[in-house]
Chains A and B, each alone.
Chain A
Amino acid sequence: MTSMLERSSGRRQDAAPPGAGRAGLTFRQRLSRWDVRYSPYAYVAPFFLLFGLVGLFPLGYTFVVSLNNWNLLTGPGEWVGFKNYAVELADPLFWNSVFNTFSIFLLSAIPQLIAAIVIAAVLDQNLRAKTFWRISVILPYVVTPVAVTLIFSSMFNEKYGLINNLLESFHLPGVLWKTDVLPSHLAIATMVNWRWTGYNALILLAAMQAVPKELHESAAIDGAGAVRRFFSITVPGIRPTIIFVIITATIGGLQIFTEPKLFDAASATPGGAQRQYQTTVLYLWDLAFNRESFGKASAVAWILFLIIVVIGLLNFLLSRSIAGAETRVSRRRTRRRLATIGAPSPATGAAIAAAPEETHR
């Protein structure tokens, strides 16, 4: 957004001088000057208005609510300052939800990214019916999460589920997918992966296609195999995109709600009877709508917001330093190359010779 603003403002200054010096402008001229100067703001305004309305205002209002002893039904209570934050940070149930969130996030994000890169690499090959494969990969993303969860929830059912039935037919013990901590996290991570791997794969595929083919070809000539090329050319080439995918996956992963909420839809305690897969968002929802403590729920929302901001910043710094390193490397390379071609080669000479001819035509 900012970069666009800068660019347009720069252009505006370029455009302004011709009319600026003169005193007697016609209305039309003035109008067109205003147009140039102010309409960009009008164009971007709807976004900021709506962002203020549905983003910034709720954020601020949530903060105000979090400082009150606010009951869901009876409304604002007394002002308690940061007490809600202190209480929540000392509540083991809150930390349990944080643990669950990170556990599910790690279990989903890591395999998801690895699988997405591999799928993208496969799709990047010369396949028949390319579009078919690409659409197939994105298909799970189209299905609504609620439907996904209901289907998976039924598959992971402990007594009548497909997966335990399969296990039992191989004389293996059934897994308590909804009772035990790790299996339930795995099950939820599976839903998340099923839904998001293809989406990430397509983003990574787009980045892979932007990696110059010449690099691959010359590496192949130098005798590098497919695997070597993948790790030494493809992966470094798509590093910024990988970082983008990681950042968005982190933000999304920390906000998982639908999957754990509906995994055992009838459970009176959302996130399992023992809160074994209650994520932080689910915890705050429970706090607000079952336990009626809107103030504390808002405090949790803010704590979660800050956690995400911190992680987002870490990601940003990391990506900037990597990107910075890359530009430094490429600049050094260019300089080195320029030095080696200091004397005009036959080819450049020919090009220069060809130039005048062109102007003749």
Chain B
Amino acid sequence: MKSRALRRVAFVAATASTAALVLAGCAGGGGDSSSGDSNEKVTLTVTTFGTMGFDKLYTQYEKEHPNVTIKATNIDTGDNALTDWQTKQAAGSGLPDVQAVEEGWLSKVMQVSSSFVDLRDYGADKIKDRWVPWKLKQATDKDGRIIGYGTDIGPEGLCYNSKLFAAAGLPTDRAAVAEYFGGANATWDKFFEIGKQYHDKTGKAWYDQSGFVWNSMVNQLPEGYYTSDGKLNVKDNADLKARWALLAQGAADGLSSNQTQWDWGKGKAFTDGSFATFVCPGWMLGVVKGQVEAGGGSSATGWDFADVFPGGAANWGGSFLTVPTTSQHKKQAAALAQWLTDQKSQVAAFQAAGTFPSTTAAQADPGVTGPSDLTKFFNDAPLGEILAKRAVGVVAQYKGPDDSVIQSQVFGPAVKSIDGGKANGQQAWDQAMKLLDQLVVNK
């Protein structure tokens, strides 16, 4: 059926491209746009994803640099942004001047790190002490080239709905909640135990779906799907298995609301009491706010943020700004990337989207520790302070080349199975191991 449409498109394309060929022939000999003049008018393209909080910063940058026009594209999820980047990387064209890269697919980026500009050529050495050391280390390839400027990190805290907590007789004050979950010694066992109490009392689910919980459980381990020296380590990984058993039991107990990731009924699930807790890395706070508002809710819906996380400190995600070598304006692009990741910008991005700064100066900035629209939404929770505490003890886990495939395609289906009640923990684990063989081991 599409062939008919295609044929029609092909005809139009044929006509158009014939015309284009002719025109291109005439227009040949146009100037190279990358001359050195710093006042020359340039258009920089930027590709980001999720909620990175850059929108207002672009306008500001354009105001401060009248010769620069920024054309920004924001892709809805990190997974889709990965597809976008890979496609363009493979095609060798279409990449923007500044490309945001997520920690989860950094390992893929490192396979082709030479196709990114070494930012040391544009002054990275001078500013490299801005970042927390492990963030800088992540962005450095094996030849010591710095290919990305860190934007945010994702220290995880616990989002909870205080109204639902109140209805179930749980503490509602965020300090009391943190204490109730075990404070500094919070464990996943405790998390599921409280969840079971909540479910027994209200009949409602405890968290939105198992995928994000699993993400957090894996991400906070010193070693995830790979050992630190890069060996695949899933099948006989006792840590993973133990956590999987907990998760599967939780789902079997009805603690998972089995929502669709990144959809949540267009935000309704955040407002109708479907679930009471949500794992929240810094950048997720902006997502929660957006979802609640899309679902017709507001700060009155009752979402709050507690300084506690089961299993201890955890980091999920965080991004980098890179400059692909295909950029025609490398110098200007590097300057923009540097500007977008400096203290002032990181503070602004945090206030707009809750992306927690990766530079030490910004982490201590009153703009991060103080109130903002986002803190207002979360019942005046001191988000910056909490996240700074949640970031203590985070270790960057080694991500292997197939990390994102394992996370999404090997464990994704298994998570769906336990959430949908289609399989018990062992069956789902076996299913995942089968997929691991098919997709990763024997690829």
Contacts and interface: CB of A to CB of B under 8 A. Distances in A.
B427 to A, nearest CB: 13
B424 interface: no
Contacts of A196: 1
B1 A252 contact: yes
Contacts, number: 107
Task: Give the interface residue-count category, chain A.
Answer: 35 or more
Nearest to A264: B260
Given A74-B112, A274-B417, A289 B4 contact: no
A266 B77 contact: yes
A255 B2 CA distance: 7
Given A54-B13, A251-B1, A294-B90, A269 B413 contact: yes
Nearest to B84: A289
B175 interface: no
A266 B14 contact: no
A50 B416 contact: no
A94 B108 CA distance: 25
Contacts of A159: 259-260, 265, 269
Interface in B391-428: 405, 407-409, 412-413, 415-417, 420, 422
B134 interface: no
Nearest to B108: A73
A279 to B, nearest CB: 12
B405 A291 contact: yes
B408 A253 contact: no
Interface in B65-115: 76-77, 79, 83, 86-87, 89-90, 108, 111-112
Interface in A258-287: 264-269, 273-275
A50 B420 contact: no
A315 interface: no
B17 interface: yes
Residue from B4, B112, B407, B438 with most neighbouring chain A CB atoms (10 Å): B4
A190 interface: no
A71 B137 CA distance: 26
Contact of B265 (A73, A92, A160, A199): A160
Contacts of B163: none
List of 5 A-B pairs having minimum Cβ-Cβ separation, nearest first: A252-B1, A268-B408, A160-B265, A273-B416, A266-B262
A73 B105 CA distance: 12
A138 B405 CA distance: 41
Contact of B443 (A158, A253, A291): A291
A73 B86 contact: yes
A39 interface: no
Contact of A192 (B1, B263, B417): B1
Contacts of B416: 179, 273-274
B405 A249 contact: no
A92 B438 CA distance: 9
Residue from B2, B261, B417 with most neighbouring chain A CB atoms (10 Å): B2
A72 B90 contact: yes
B14 A46 contact: yes
Contact of B438 (A72, A93, A248, A290): A93
A268 B268 contact: no
A52 to B, nearest CB: 12
25 contacts: A50-B18, A73-B89, A73-B111, A92-B438, A154-B266, A158-B260, A159-B259, A178-B260, A179-B416, A192-B1, A196-B1, A248-B1, A251-B3, A252-B4, A255-B2, A256-B2, A268-B407, A268-B408, A269-B408, A269-B409, A273-B417, A290-B83, A290-B408, A291-B409, A294-B90
B176 interface: no
Interface of B: 1-4, 10, 13-14, 17-18, 76-77, 79, 83, 86-87, 89-90, 108, 111-112, 259-263, 265-266, 268-269, 405, 407-409, 412-413, 415-417, 420, 422, 438-439, 443
A292 B86 contact: yes
Q: Is the interface of A mostly helix, strand, loop or mixed?
A: loop
Interface in A156-193: 157-160, 176, 178-179, 192
A249 B86 contact: no
Interface string A54-74: 100000000000000000111
B420 A72 contact: no
B41 to A, nearest CB: 33
Given A54-B10, A73-B111, A268 B79 contact: yes
Contact of B420 (A73, A179, A252, A268): A179
A231 interface: no
Given A73-B112, A93-B438, A289-B83, A252 B3 contact: yes
Interface string A139-167: 00000000000000010011110000000
Contacts of A248: 1, 3-4
A74 B86 CA distance: 11
B412 A269 contact: yes
A249 B263 contact: no
Given A255-B3, A274-B417, 4 more contacts: A159-B260, A249-B1, A268-B412, A269-B409
A358 to B, nearest CB: 47
A49 B260 CA distance: 47
Contact of A50 (B17, B83, B90, B439): B17
Nearest to B91: A72
A273 B409 CA distance: 7
A98 B137 CA distance: 44
Interface in A21-56: 46-47, 50, 54
